[in-house]
Amino acid sequence: MSLRTEEMVLNMGPQHPSTHGVLRLELVLEGEVVHDVKPHIGYLHRCFEKHAEAMTYPQVVPYTDRMDYLASMYNNFGYVEAVEKLMGIEVPERVEYIRVIMGELQRIASHLVALGTYGLDLGAFTPFLYLFRDREKILTLFEETCGARLLYNYMWVGGLSHDIHPDFVRKTKEFIDYFRPTVTELNELLTYNKIFIERTANIGVCPAKEAINLGLSGPNLRGSGVKFDLRKNDPYSIYNKFDFEIPVGEGLVGTVGDCWDRYYVRVQEIEQSLRIIEQAIDQIPEGDVKSAVPRRVKPPKGHIYHRVEAPKGELGYFIISDGTVNPARVKVRAPSFVSLSAIGEIAKGYLVADVVAILGSLDIVLGEIDR
Amino acid sequence: MKTPEEIFEILKSEFQDAVIEIDSELPVEPIIIVDPLKISKVAQFLRDNEELQFDSLMNLSGVDDNNGEKVTDEEGNVTVQGGTFSVYYHLHSTTIDHKVTIRVITDKDKPEVETVDPVWKASTWHEREAYDMYGIIFLNHPDLRRILLPDDWEGYPLRKDYENPEYYDGMKIPY
Q: Which amino acid is located at A100 in the chain?
A: V
pLDDT band, very low/low/confident/very high, at B175 (cuts 50, 70, 90)? low
Long-range residue pairs from B131-137, CB within 8 A, at least 24 positions apart, any chain: B131/B62, B132/B156, B133/A49, B133/B62, B133/B157, B133/B158, B133/B159, B134/B62, B134/B63, B134/B64, B134/B85, B134/B158, B134/B159, B135/B111, B135/B159, B136/B62, B136/B85, B136/B87, B136/B106, B136/B111, B136/B112, B137/B111, B137/B112, B137/B113
pLDDT digits (tens, 9 = 90+) for A194-253: 888 888 888 888 888 888 888 888 899 998 888 888 888 888 888 888 888 889 888 888
| B56–chain A Cβ distance below 8 A for any pair | yes
Nearest alpha-carbon partner for B42 in B23, B22, B14, B63: B14
The pTM (predicted TM-score) of the whole model is 0.88
Report yes or no: A89 and A292 within 8 Å, Cβ to Cβ. Answer: yes
B-chain CB neighbours of A85 within 8 Å are 28
Ordered DSSP codes for A231-289? HHHS--TTGGGS---------SSS-TTSHHHHHHHHHHHHHHHHHHHHHHHTTPPP--T
B-chain CB neighbours of A371 within 8 Å are 148
Partner-chain contact A305 B90, CB within 8 Å: yes
Option in B57, B101, B158 nearest A215 (CB): B57
| B157–chain A Cβ distance below 8 A for any pair | yes
| A106, pLDDT greater than 80 | yes
The backbone torsions φ and ψ at residue A205, rounded to the nearest 5 degrees and listed phi first, read -75, 130
pLDDT digits (tens, 9 = 90+) for A58-80: 888 999 988 888 889 999 999 99
Partner-chain contact B58 A314, CB within 8 Å: yes
Report yes or no: B124 and B117 within 8 Å, Cβ to Cβ. Answer: yes
pLDDT digits (tens, 9 = 90+) for A238-275: 888 888 888 988 888 888 888 898 999 999 999 999 99
| B158–chain A Cβ distance below 8 A for any pair | yes
pLDDT given at position A109: 92
pLDDT given at position B27: 64
| A1, pLDDT greater than 70 | no
Residues A258 and A263: their CA atoms lie apart, in Å, by 9
Long-range residue pairs from B82-87, CB within 8 A, at least 24 positions apart, any chain: B82/B107, B82/B108, B82/B109, B83/B108, B84/B108, B85/B111, B85/B134, B85/B136, B86/B62, B87/B36, B87/B60, B87/B61, B87/B62, B87/B63, B87/B113, B87/B130, B87/B136
Query: What is chain A's mean pLDDT, rounded?
Result: 88
The mean per-residue pLDDT over the stretch A181-186 comes to 88
Partner-chain contact A212 B57, CB within 8 Å: no
| A170, pLDDT greater than 80 | yes
User: For a pLDDT cut of 70, what percent of chain A falls above it?
Assistant: 100
pLDDT digits (tens, 9 = 90+) for A78-95: 999 999 988 888 888 889
| B85–chain A Cβ distance below 8 A for any pair | no
| A347, pLDDT greater than 70 | yes
| B49–chain A Cβ distance below 8 A for any pair | no
Coil, strand or helix: which one is B149? coil
Which residue spans within B65-98 are E strands per DSSP?
A: 69-72, 78-81, 84-92
Q: Flag the least confident range among A19-33, A271-285, B14-28.
A: B14-28
Question: What is the ipTM score, two decimals?
Answer: 0.86
| A158, pLDDT greater than 80 | yes
Parallel, antiparallel, or unpaired: how do β-strands B99-107 and B167-168 relate? unpaired
| B23–chain A Cβ distance below 8 A for any pair | no
Query: What is chain B's mean pLDDT, rounded?
Result: 83
Report yes or no: A61 and A319 within 8 Å, Cβ to Cβ. Answer: no
Most B CBs within 10 Å, among A51, A307, A309, A331, to test the B interface = A331
Option in B94, B101, B148 nearest A42 (CB): B148
Strand partners, B57: B91
pLDDT given at position A108: 92
Partner-chain contact B27 A300, CB within 8 Å: yes
